[in-house]
């Protein structure tokens, strides 16, 4: 499907935006289509018994293709914010391309994990060596919180949101910061969507509200209530949280945010020292230094939240990973509990 869509867009000359005022070249779309076909064949071959050369070829195709699709989902958080705030979609084909890359990356990651387990002689579903098939019932570990080291790392990374969120809150409340006045910021926000104006009238920028949703997701990945629905969820209270319910948005949001945040964090100091050209100020900014500082604040915020989500999701995935009941029954309980704790 991915290859068919890319070939159709390339042959019909459809404009597919990959960033503001930039579109995919037809050659790039044909390359992505060819890559999708190659990696699709590698996925099929990963379930078969292969010779040494075949195993290397399949592993190489999977490892090289995965970063391409991950980079292609870079605009996912931006589209999420525009959809959540009803601000309108700048490019429908651009959104479709991001979603295609997101689905491709997610499915390919699952194939990589299962193939790695097969090469180790383990069950492709649970990752443990055991007799019998991989379609039996699963044993889920008890709810647990993240380790202290993971908690400290996640909270420190969340602190990266403070300069960015604080600056935006000052503007929304009518204050001045980074050579931007509250009046200019409010004039700029008048063309925003209804939900964005509503939150701004309460002194909350809508993008800060979206970041708080990300923080809520991150906290759920760290604590037990992210594995068992808490009492305030009423009818769901006490039930086990489906494992992929927090993991999918965490991975899909954390990885693009990490790439975007790291890019901004590196760009700002390079611009400040003159390696990159200074950005010409445009309203509401009145100075290049103000833009540079805000870019750095944005990099710390997006990168911090993105890396924090990735770290917390990795811990959550390890703590909640189920195993086939056959494997759980054959393992000694203390070893099973020790592995889950790690």
Confidence band, pLDDT 50/70/90 cuts, at residue 337: very low
The pLDDT value given to residue 223? 95
CA distance 100 to 22: 18
The yes-or-no verdict on residue 335 having pLDDT over 60 is: no
Are the C-beta atoms of 274 and 226 separated by less than 8 Å? no
Burial of 27 (0-12, 13-18, 19+ CB in 10 A): exposed
Instruction: Tell me how crowded residue 276 is: count the other CB atoms within 10 A of its CB.
Output: 14
C-beta separation of 228 from 240 below 8 A? yes
Tell me the pLDDT of the chain averaged across its residues. 85
DSSP 153-194: HHHHHHTTHHHHHHHHHHHHTT--BTTB-HHHHHHHHTTS-H
Q: What is the mean pLDDT of residues 120-139?
A: 81
At residue 10 the predicted structure's pLDDT band, cuts being 50, 70 and 90, is very high
Residues pairing with 228 in the sheet: 240
How far apart, in Å, are the Cα atoms of 1 and each of 8, 108, 153, 317?
Answer: 11, 14, 40, 29
Question: How far apart (Å, rounded) are the C-alpha atoms in residues 214 and 120?
Answer: 35
Query: What pLDDT is stored for residue 285 in this prediction?
Result: 85
Contact 172, 192 (CB under 8 A): no
Q: Tell me: the pLDDT tens digits for 19-63?
A: 767 888 899 999 999 999 999 999 999 988 888 899 999 999 999
Whether the predicted pLDDT of 313 surpasses 90: yes
Mean pLDDT across the stretch 197-213?
73
pLDDT top residue among 177 and 206 = 177
Judged by phi (left if over 0) then psi (alpha if -120 to 50, else beta), residue 228 lies in beta
In terms of phi and psi (left: phi > 0; alpha: psi -120 to 50; beta: otherwise), the region of 238 is left
State pTM to two decimals: 0.78
Tell how strand 138-139 and strand 22-23 pair up.
unpaired
Three-state DSSP state, 19 = strand
Per-residue pLDDT at 119: 87
In eight-state DSSP terms, residue 146 is: P
Worst-scoring range by mean pLDDT, 178-187, 230-239, 262-271, 311-320? 178-187
Q: What angle do CA 58, 60, 66 make, to 5 degrees?
A: 100
Q: How many helices (H) and strands (E) does the chain have?
A: 14, 4
Query: Which string of b and e fits 86-101 if b means at least 16 CB within 10 Å?
Result: ebeeebebbbebbebb
Rounded to 5 degrees, φ, ψ at 47 are -90, 0
Give the pLDDT confidence of 50-108 residue by residue, as tens digits.
888 999 999 999 999 999 998 888 777 777 767 766 666 778 888 899 999 989 998 99
């Amino acid at each position: 499907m991915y290859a068919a869509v890319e070939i159709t867009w390339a042959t019909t000359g459809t404009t597919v935006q990959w960033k503001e005022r930039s579109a995919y070249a037809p050659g790039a779309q044909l390359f992505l289509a060819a890559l999708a076909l190659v990696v699709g064949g590698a996925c099929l071959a990963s379930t078969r018994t292969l010779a040494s050369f075949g195993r290397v070829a399949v592993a190489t195709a999977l490892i090289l293709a995965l970063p391409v699709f991950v980079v292609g989902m870079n605009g996912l958080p931006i589209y999420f914010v525009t959809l959540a705030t009803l601000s309108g979609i700048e490019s429908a084909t651009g959104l479709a391309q991001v979603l295609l890359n997101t689905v491709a990356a997610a499915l390919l990651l699952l194939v990589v994990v299962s193939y790695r387990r097969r090469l180790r002689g383990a069950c492709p579903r649970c990752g443990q060596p055991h007799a019998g098939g991989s379609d039996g019932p699963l044993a889920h570990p008890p709810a647990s919180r993240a380790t202290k080291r993971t908690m400290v790392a996640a909270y420190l990374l969340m602190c990266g949101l403070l300069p960015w969120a604080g600056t935006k809150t000052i503007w929304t409340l009518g204050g001045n910061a980074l050579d931007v006045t509250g009046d200019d910021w409010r004039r700029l926000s008048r063309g925003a969507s209804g939900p964005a104006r509503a939150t701004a009238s309460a002194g909350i920028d809508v993008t800060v509200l979206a970041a708080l949703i990300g923080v809520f997701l991150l906290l759920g990945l760290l604590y037990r209530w992210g594995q068992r629905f808490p009492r305030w969820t009423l009818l769901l209270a006490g039930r086990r949280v489906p494992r992929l319910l927090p993991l999918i948005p965490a991975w899909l949001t954390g990885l693009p945010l990490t790439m975007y945040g790291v890019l901004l964090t590196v760009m700002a100091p390079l611009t400040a020292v003159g390696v990159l050209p200074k950005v010409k100020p445009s309203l509401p900014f009145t100075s290049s230094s103000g833009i540079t500082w805000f870019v750095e604040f944005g990099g710390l915020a997006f990168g911090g939240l993105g890396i924090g989500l990735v770290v917390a999701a990795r811990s959550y995935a390890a703590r909640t990973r189920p195993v086939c009941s056959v494997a759980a029954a054959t393992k000694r309980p203390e070893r099973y509990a020790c592995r889950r704790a790690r």
